[in-house]
Structure 1
């Protein structure tokens, strides 16, 4: 080593040993944060080390060049993301917004947007008491769903049954993404129906969903928004231990539209058809701007799906769930796949036609009369007409009381624990 390099090497060696001594505490080794974004407790331990950077500019330069680990401890095991460009890889490069550490992917779409579980170590107790939160992340700041989501949650702030945002959406330069942290809710109805052996809800459960979602849409519509995103995966149970454990939450407002832009008549210009094809309204298939009626029509399709496990315009349940045994199993499965694909190819372009042609007697077969009355009320609504939410809700409530006579009360978490235990 040449003489001019010796002072730098000595300072670097000293800095590294000081860092190691600061982080030798066993508690700090279990921290989820990183040296570049430490939690409050880790920062207290690192303070002597960081203070030494003020001694000289040479010391500060050496500290910046130290090969320090990105994180103090691992939060995922056996997870590998090989593509640097993919959003799943980006969100794991650093602590997000100086306080959130991603540890699980809930859902990611096309590598440019996703939903994640993260630890929040931003309070005074740091990583020792880091609660779990949900973070919605977008790569592009010009993503239309990003802007719809941000605008919707601003309008819906404080609305019952809508998740709370923990802070404003921000750009994170270390990962080159835009992040919106939100409270973590319970399982979705999609999760719940997947653990029930029959893959369908009973009458009491469907009636409870109807009552809850009519209340959600009443409050959302009163604030001037159309949800446009109902499906089992976008309805969540309340978190455990809350004051309202029976409340259902509506999530995912990436397709939400302002009601004021639609009135008093549908827009003369065709809009993008957004939403889940299984549940979206007939008008939505044609790109006609939406009103309150469209959300309630989608809700009716959802209620039918939850009770029957299917809707009339999708691949028949018998084909989807049929299992085969014996020596010809492989060939039969291949035939089954071909039948499914043929059915999809035949029905997908004409789903809206099937929805129009499906009578209420088929859509709500085996269900209580209040569902038929709900459907008639929806069909009688004019574009932009304010529904009588209270009357709709009251019918379902009376019917639910009849079903619950002589039955022990049961909450959503009771059902979840029963089948997921």
Structure 2
């Protein structure tokens, strides 16, 4: 062997020598590597705990205030209807003239006089501004009450209601204490919060009007965004030619998915209200506007789901004589449906919580009765929460948190149904 090849052979022999894991330099390197891994794991654990703590604080604070929104304080009031001064013919309450007869009667004055006679000058202030509506409903249900004395439980004022929940001023706490000692107050579940509509008085305000508006708006959004989005995704992925125009359409859809929601509100205002003259503040307009916002997300998710179907499925179906449309609708689309439903869940969840585009089309009006259809004036839960959060009365604070709880339950229920359908199709295929 020549002297020139000796160093090369020695270098090759050194390269083939096993690593000395017990050397001090290697041990230091291993310790640094393990230490870096432990730091990364601790950092990830800290991030998870921090996020979980913020979420727990938010949920605790919301539920602590919201649970009180589902309860209501009532005051016992004895009313002698025979001597109350109400001039109502009981016969007029059995036909179509019942509402007119009750509207002409001074029921509010009769209730105030009974409260003053029972609790003194401060008596009328103990009752809610809408307490007489409860009496009106009772008279309409039982006209014979006008000939006797009846003991009723009527909603208390907002100040007494907060005092019953130990969050009021000292004088309100004292008034509530005196009434509680006399057994004239009670606090229980407020079923009218789930069955009533919006009101200026927090003690009689309900969530059903906004909930029904959200339900109708989501139905319109789903009926438009889902079929149009899925068919668009099928065409772009399976039938559209690969050229410059298709690329422009794909880029436009991707950009539309990132457009701020208020832009869609301006579009809905310009097209559906100013140009098409559709009814303002109606679920049909809200659904059309939110469908424009949701469709790009559905198209993108649908294309990704269709693209994930293995090409062998298409080749096998074509090999046994299936047509192109049979391949798409009998094989590709059912296999891609779970992914499409996932994208639909994301889009509908975003639409359910939107407020800005609906404010632009006028769905922030005061709606005192639930909508009867998609063309009636309505509001939605996020807008209702926004309006209540801007109220001065302290009674609306807990109503806002309670409405948020209803919105979250609605969202979880909607997602639960969609996830059930997605899992059902996954098991079938």
TM-score normalized with structure 1 length: 0.22
Normalized per residue, the structure richer in helix is 2
Larger Rg: 2
Asked which structure has the greater RCO (Cα within 8 Å, sep 6+), the reply is 2
TM-score normalized with structure 2 length: 0.22
